[in-house]
Amino acid sequence: MKKGTQIKLLPRDRELAVFTREIIALRSPSGGEAEVLRRIGKEMEQMGWEDIRLDRFGNLHGRIGSGPRVLTIDGHADTVGPGERGDWSCDPWEGKEEDGWIWGRGAVDQKGGLAAAVHAGRIFRERGGGEEITLCLVVSVQEEDCEGLAWDYLIEQEGFFTGAVVLTEPTDLKLVRGQLGHCEIAVTVRGRSAHAFCPEKGENAIYNAAGLIEKIRDISPLLAAHPAFGRGRIAVTKIAGRGPSDNSVPDICRILIDRRFCPEEDEKSLVKEIEKLSVDLDCDITIPEYRHPSHTGVLRPGRKFFPGWLLDEDSPLLRAGSLALAQAGISPAPAGTWGFSTNGTSTMGKHRIPTIGFGPGREALAHQPDERVPISHLLAARDFYTGLAQEYSAMK
């Protein structure tokens, strides 16, 4: 592959591009973020962040200023895997730069936004910020596996306080004020085992589950809708049979459902929805529990139910965000919503901390082959985070 061409940038803009490439090149699956956190911590120190530390769970912290008003920028350090490598036109771990874009796993989800936030600290400090505000940065962990888990730990175990949060997930340089809820539902369908040479003697649990899978597919157009989010979503994401051996009719089939839901729906209604579809089956329906230690070895279980949230359109934080857009030279537009789930499920969904989203890159490129972010978006995001801190400190 020919070497990518680099656009001409001012020195500090080039520093941001280089830093983004470097952290993309450091693999950081959920629970394996230690190396990239060390690199980010070093960059935070160079950008003037203070009190840089890891908490017990493994989140990286820093702050600028010590004013009474607290604003926190959140960005998660972990990424999903690359998927099928043959679907990529470049090495997903190279951090390739070409024609004004940076490519690689995590470019938009969400090391690009995180890098921009780290570099925003330097500009905020240079502009004299920090007298009326404490600007915090939380580089969170394990978001891809269990969104909100790191923030549940921060708030419930460490007593972390903040007046507002901005999430650096990709938004295509638009403000976001909410997200659909997210829930995983596991259905264990039972059958009866038999030798595969006489399958009629058993009851194939996979065949039993097949009817349920078809019903799940068919209810998609009937799911509840919301003016801000559109219709909910549902998808079967995993299916696995189990029997006494590979040449036996399986007596167990487990399917995993990913459900995106509207604000008026709750855990009870989501489970009841699947119960109605499986009334003729011998099965169990549960919400799975996430049980994997963080990179520091701390195990904090988390149920795979993540409430949605929606910030009021007249929120002072959203107004500050609109002013920050103008500071960054970005055309204003009505605040939208995310289709995917974020750490906002904890900050706003559970703990009612005013939360907005703003980040470089397009949401649709998250988890995709050839994930990439425009360098122009990194620079705009950096300037937005700086402006947001200034506008938030001046809020009446």
What CA–CA distance (Å, rounded) separates 263 from 260? 10
DSSP code for 353: -
In the structure encoding, which two tokens stand for residue 245, read together?
A: 């051996």
What CA–CA distance (Å, rounded) separates 312 from 157? 28
Q: Where are the alpha helices (DSSP H) in the chain?
A: 11-24, 34-46, 112-126, 149-156, 205-218, 267-277, 316-327, 344-347, 375-393
Place of tokens 């549960």: 286
Residue 218 is a catalytic residue: no
Place of tokens 């995106």: 260
Name the active-site residue from 55, 97, 143, 147. 143
Neighbouring CB atoms inside 10 A of 18's CB total: 15
Q: Is 15 left (phi over 0), alpha (psi -120 to 50) or beta?
A: alpha
What CA–CA distance (Å, rounded) separates 360 from 370? 16
Under 8 Å between Cβ of 155 and 210: no
Q: 51-83 burial by CB neighbour count: b if 16+ within 10 A, else e?
A: ebebbebbbbbbbbbeeebbbbbbbbbbbeebe
Exposed, middle or buried by CB within 10 Å (0-12, 13-18, 19+), for 44? buried
Neighbouring CB atoms inside 10 A of 45's CB total: 12
Q: Return the bridge partners of 183, or none.
A: 259, 305
**Virtual CA dihedral for 228, 174, 322, 79, nearest 10 degrees?**
100
Name the active-site residue from 33, 78, 109, 371. 78
Place of tokens 């990424």: 79
Q: 196-223 burial by CB neighbour count: b if 16+ within 10 A, else e?
A: eeeeeebbbbbebbeebbeebeeeeeeb
Residue 143 is a catalytic residue: yes
In the structure encoding, which two tokens stand for residue 47, read together?
A: 């950008």
Place of tokens 């809820």: 181
Q: Mind telling me the catalytic residues?
A: 78, 143
